[in-house]
Structure 1
């Protein structure tokens, strides 16, 4: 496993060797510092060190820290590894200057110290701060800031600041073990949070802090392992900006793939932040790696929860905001949220096995902007999922629907059911007051720059009532061949819309059934195989729908994460 990791690390280093770094203006160090560090590892030491200790482009803005930039969280993350890992290669004078700057920064809590006016993070930034360090409170930026300030205070003996940040770090990481992460499963920001805590794990002297950092990394890598598969990242996601719907297309997969691999193709465009993984001693537990590779008995279904984003505010941790159903077949994984997509979160995403490039995607959403399909919604989406069966219902008139799928998928319609054939996975999509218009060339062209091998199918709700679709998914292990699956759906599966004017739809599949009663404001009423689903029993962060605590389990506010996969067992507690 380690030899494979080192081989992948070598590929990353080779990709960046000799490339331009960029600048140090504003928070450009988020890219330029990691690139210089990788180039150092590639053997271009003098060039890299000269850049790393060059005068900052905005040095005049940082007289309080001797011209060293400690403002942006992204810059702080790079400064940490520059000093603590590459510091022995820096000139003694520059290293001492950095240390003095750290001492000045952490003499008091830098988050409480103020500039006369707000400072920009980049030329057009609007979320600027007047504090000495980044005041922004997203999970990833907070992790970068807290880790850096803690390490700087520890290095320079500013004990009051160190203790204050130790408490903050413990609180933030223990929250993961209580209710999960507010910035959950982000295709981008999961990676940034991981690298922040790698700094803390690698360089903290306090053994308790090092252990807390490891707990954070274990949890984050486990959460990533649930959604990662063969170089892809799928299922519902928070802070999903629509750029990760292909293999190796997201920062989180760039980083997770270094640990997990399991893809038939190498990462063609690795991320510069991988330098933090490459130079770190942290490795995920074998059970976490096995979870990522889906080395557990399938099919399996998880009923998971996700907290509200600002869960630290009073009352925001009393119940989850999102309820997720995640199903793992032998050749696919499908996830949905009870209230669908909206804001910056995805509520319906599926990945299917592809032997050549890892996975293909299937995404369904209401709305008309194909570039925003990951989070698109006109409002009023309700989703019921029972294993491989889904009902997706919307309560607006003439609702626009769009579907994202590969051009390689074979599409045919029989008896008003659209069959979509992936390499090893088959979909039967039954419209509910929905006019499926077919492949939309205009919308497909709009996503072609990033997704040249994918396409958009559009549809529109009809009538004066609810619209949507029922979805049934099959594969060889459960349905034989495609022809058998198609015949079974045509002869056995049934859609009941007799009560659709009341928002009630039921779909009976070849195996099992699912029923939904639409709720405009509350969670939908869902019957899973005839049983009314009690959302109060859907609070656990991770739980198997059959009651077993495999492959992953974490109860609501229980402070313990358990994983069992690939013959390995992992348990971690943090209160």
Structure 2
């Protein structure tokens, strides 16, 4: 077996060949490491940050794939209108300008990046530079450190002086020179919230703030603030490796946090902080790799809005695609955060790339936990907030999550199945207020054991909604709903549900996004427990016809105790899953093959019970191990935030 080991070596400057294009009049020295082809040398315009001595090494083949995808992203954004700098609009306008710069429009892009901010008067205390909004900060950092050599020296000095004033003391919560503590009410600007910096604490916005303050304090010599923010970053990275991420596996925001940590990795000077940046990125890429599937992003997720269950539909998938690929279709809308990826020297460990491409022995079941959202508050480190089960079949992955409480922005269940034409298909169920609205809704409880799943809902008139691809074959036989995907077979036993009907997806944008999907609706029969069971098969283990016959003859649904909220399913292969609805909280009682599953004895962040173990990370153990594709990667973050590998 090949073993992927990170080692220290004399750092050389690595150039990103196809990422930084179009300067015909500037010569840049290159090293032998990751050297572009001679044809490419004439196109180079800007250097990426120097490669770290501890950089994860990649194969030439992977790097070539990455470079091609990066070139596609640059061309996608080249020539687009930049936008403006009002509020936090820099989240779009700065990347647009930076991509245009990389495509060769240097003067136009730099002129925009140096343009006076729309709210320069509000930022007079920081030399007119906007250091308030978190999304703006993420772009300001890459502007200053990466594109700084192309900025007018006077403008760059303004950025420096503004940052020096900004980080003289902790800007978070410091009364604003004009607005004091703010007037309160709706909105996130300084006039509403006060403060010298955006104080929102979602993982992604917090990462943008803390990393930007740290880097500018380090750059301008404000040591007290640098040390304060170093401790905050240490705590966050400690949490990743010991209890998990509050904004876990978010389809919408995972990439924003990753992009912020690319800034830390690329531009921090303190070796300990550089290592923290790498550790965070390795963890974020590993977590994303588990949910990434042929250009899709699925399984349970926090902050899931229900509008991204298609190939390349989620922000996370469109960003991680740069690293993981694994889909021949072009990315229709690359993420703007890709600017941080394509101008960074960071690459995920080879084992993590193989994990994303599911290059490990299957089938296998992975048990994992997630912390409560605000895990830094008292009690947040005591126990997990969510328990997740994921089963990786030969042609699909199926995931579900449970918790002691309801949670309206959690996507609780998804199945992703291979599709040779577009990468993958989704099977999604939810009981939200509308056909696409997810949520761990009150009364919904799920049990899963490998390829078996039971979803039971307390008495309610709320319908169940199901999403399937248009290419799926749908049949109802012996009261069982069968769905034939390209390589994956689904058998659904409805529990006190009427047969489904097809319904329309509302809204012009959603209609376009879901043009190749079908939405089904099933209403409860009576005021009692309702739900469904799911059993999944695949082409490798059986034909669709034999799967149907086996389910009808061997699979058994026992609803004899449903009055007390108990349902049991025996699968084709003999496995048994039993669920009892819990009326005291939202955590059901689960029995798997006769053994009661004890949630409170299973805290590991990632744990596989079988011999083959592609990823492991114990509760408060700090050591992550990834083994996939013949590569092994191990990294530890100690209790005091020290990184070793």
Residue deviations 1:312-348, cap 9 Å, x none?
0111211111110001111111100135974111111
Which runs of no fewer than 5 residues in structure 1 stay unpaired?
none
CA contact (8 A) 1:39 1:45 kept: yes
Q: 1:406 corresponds to which residue? A: 469
Partner of residue 185, structure 1: 249
Choose between structure 1 and 2: higher helix proportion.
Answer: 1
* Matching residue of 2:54: none
- 1:215 deviation in Å? 0.3
Aligned to 1:242: 306
Retained in 1: the 8 A contact 2:183–2:194? no
Alpha-carbon distance change, 76 to 376 in structure 1, aligned in 2, over 3 angstroms: same
Counterparts of 1:403-442 in structure 2, within 5 Å, are 403-441=466-504
Question: C-alpha separation between the residues in 1 aligned to 2:452 and 2:524?
Answer: 21
Aligned mates of 1:15, 1:320 — CA distance in 2: 41
1:386-424 deviation line (CA, Å, top 9, x unaligned): 111111101123341111111111101000001011111
**Paired residue total:** 571
SS at match of 1:488: helix
- TM-score (ref. length: structure 1): 0.96
1:510 corresponding residue in structure 2 = 572
Equivalent position of 2:589 in the other structure: 525
Higher mean Cα deviation, 438-447 or 389-398?
438-447
1:451 corresponds in structure 2 to 514
For the Cα contact (< 8 Å) 1:40–1:48, is it kept in 2? yes
What is the aligned partner in structure 1 of residue 24 from structure 2? none
Please point out which of 264, 269, 276 is paired with 2:340: 276
- Post-superposition offset of 1:367: 3.5
User: Do residues 85 (structure 1) and 149 (structure 2) align?
Assistant: no
1:500 aligns with 2:562: yes
Matched, 1:351 2:390: no
**Structure 2 CA distance for aligned equivalents of residues 204 and 388 of structure 1:** 45
Q: d(CA) in 2 for partners of 1:399 and 1:313?
A: 34
Match of 1:327 in 2: 391
Displacement after TM superposition at 1:129 (Å): 2.3
Partner of 1:29: 90
Deviation at 1:42, TM superposition (A): 0.4
CA RMSD of aligned residues (A): 1.9
Which ranges in structure 2 are unaligned for 5 or more consecutive residues?
A: 1-61, 639-645
CA positional deviation for 1:271: 1.5
Normalised to the residue count of structure 2, the TM-score between the two structures is: 0.86
Decide whether aligned partners of structure 1 residues 253 and 120 sit closer, same or farther in structure 2, where only a CA change above 3 A counts: farther
Match of 2:41 in 1: none
8 Å Cα contact 1:371-1:446 kept in structure 2: no
**Contact (CA 8 Å) 1:324, 1:336: kept in 2 or not?**
yes
Give the match's secondary structure for 1:572.
strand
Is 1:251 aligned with 2:315?
A: yes
Q: Does 1:14 align with 2:78?
A: no
Shift of 1:442: 6.3
Map 1:155-554; keep pairs closer than 5 Å.
155-339=219-403, 342-372=407-437, 374-375=438-439, 377=441, 379-441=442-504, 447-478=510-541, 480-511=542-573, 512-522=575-585, 523-546=587-610, 548=611, 550-554=613-617
Change (3 A) 1:109 1:367: closer
Instruction: From the two aligned structures, give the one with the greater strand fraction.
Output: 1
**Residue aligned with 1:48, SS:** helix
**2:135 maps to 1:74:** yes
Secondary structure of 1:114's partner?
coil
